[in-house]
Amino acid sequence: MASASRLGGAATRVVPSMDAVTASIGHTPVVELRRIAPSPTIRLFAKLEWANPTGSVKDRIAHAMIADALASGALRDRQTIIEPSSGNTGISLALIGARLGHPVRIVMPDNTTPERTRLLLAFGAEIVYSPGAEGSNGAIRLAQELAAADPDLYMPFQYGNAANPRVHEETTGPEILEQVPDVDVFVAGLGTGGTLTGVGRYLKRERDGVRVIGAEPLPGELVSGLRSLDDGFVPPVLDATVLDDRFLVSNHDAVIGVRRLMHEEGLFAGLSSGAVLSVALRVAAEMKQGAMVLLLADGGWKYLSTDLWTRDVDEISDDFEGSVLW
């Protein structure tokens, strides 16, 4: 892994997996949601992925994708990394790029929160904005066009990179089973599908009867404006056969969930975590007993400017109609 030995300069040969920052990725804590649990026989456990270095679950896949690319030689010394991202993966790649000396260019919808722009710029990444009305699909399309036009760019492409589900199968899944050995249901947000696919594969292999549930955003009126259905996109890393159920969650319900996590459990979570809680409670309503693990993908820091916790919920939901937030 010669190409991975640049950290620390020539005199100190350090591979990414041994770097103190990247080594702190994963091994995130699990806490029980005792106050939100709907009954004493249904236990809810939250896996706090904001404990990763940049504050989201995406540190896991960013590190895995870049380590893979370095090992295979697909990513050359100092080569620029380009990636479509609604924020979290971009910020994670910006950290890895900064550690390893790769310029990072992130293609991001122009209607995300300002915190994401500021974090990316703080890490030294370049931002290319895609039309917000096209949502994440628009960012994917533009990043693919830019990468195709410039062979000097390397695109990990989280939506199609096998390292994405694989790192969840190798790390997140085993961590969950060790932390909650009697897990019956796993609930996570559906973005690339990597988390649900990887964790789901591991849990289903190791424990009979585990159900895997996806929570996906109901797109706002202003971000569902695909030009045609041909622009539709099913991420290649999503193995839909691993899923047992899949729910749409409105911004309104996601906000309510975020507030419950804060007010009842003291957890400062991001918007997708509220959606995951909303789905978990819906699934729990059909269960008599069992243990559920909820993956909380990021913390609340990147949403502070939206006043997610303090504004009128209907007013804030209306504002989110035109945004890509989770």
Partner 1 sequence: MSSVRIPPVLRDAVGGSRSVAASGATVAEVLGDLFRRFPALRDRVTEGGELSRFVNVYVNDRDVRYRDGLETPVGDSDTVILLPAMAGGSS
Catalytic residues: 58, 272
Question: Under rule CB under 8 A, which residues in 136-195 are in contact with partner 1?
Answer: 136-137, 139-140, 158-159, 189-193
E strands, 143-222, in order: 153-154, 183-189, 211-217
Q: Does 231 bind partner 1 (CB under 8 A)?
A: yes
Question: Under rule CB under 8 A, which residues in 49-68 are in contact with partner 1?
Answer: 56-58
Q: Does 111 bind partner 1 (CB under 8 A)?
A: no
Q: Does 197 bind partner 1 (CB under 8 A)?
A: no
Longest distance between any two alpha carbons in the chain, whole Å: 60
- Of residues 32 and 216, the one with the C-beta less far from partner 1: 216
How far are the Cα atoms of 169, 216, 224, 225, 294 from residue 228, in angstroms, in the given order?
A: 34, 21, 10, 8, 34
Using alpha carbons, select from 101, 107, 152 the residue that is nearest to residue 129: 107
- Of residues 4 and 194, the one with the C-beta less far from partner 1: 194
For 211-231, letters b (16+ CB in 10 Å) and e give bbbbbbbebbeebeebeeeee
Q: Does 208 bind partner 1 (CB under 8 A)?
A: no
Q: Does 286 bind partner 1 (CB under 8 A)?
A: no
Residue 198 tokens read as 């990887």
How far are the Cα atoms of 26, 61, 87, 101 from residue 56, in angstroms, in the given order?
A: 10, 10, 10, 21
- Of residues 154 and 326, the one with the C-beta less far from partner 1: 326
Scanning 23-31, 167-175, 231-239, 255-263 for contacts with partner 1 by CB under 8 A, the matching segment is 231-239
Residue 18: φ, ψ to 5°: -105, 0
Q: Does 227 bind partner 1 (CB under 8 A)?
A: yes
Q: Does 22 bind partner 1 (CB under 8 A)?
A: no
Q: Which residues have a Cβ under 8 Å from the Cβ of 145 and sit 6 or more positions away?
A: none
Q: Does 103 bind partner 1 (CB under 8 A)?
A: no
Q: Does 86 bind partner 1 (CB under 8 A)?
A: yes
Distance between CA atoms of residues 288 and 9, nearest Å: 57
Please pick, from the candidates 85, 113, 171, 306, the single residue that binds partner 1 as defined by CB under 8 A.
Answer: 85
Shortest distance in whole angstroms from residue 258 CB to partner 1: 13
Binding site for partner 1 (CB under 8 A): 56-58, 84-86, 88-89, 135-137, 139-140, 158-159, 189-193, 216-219, 221, 224-235, 240, 243-249, 270, 272, 297-298, 324-326
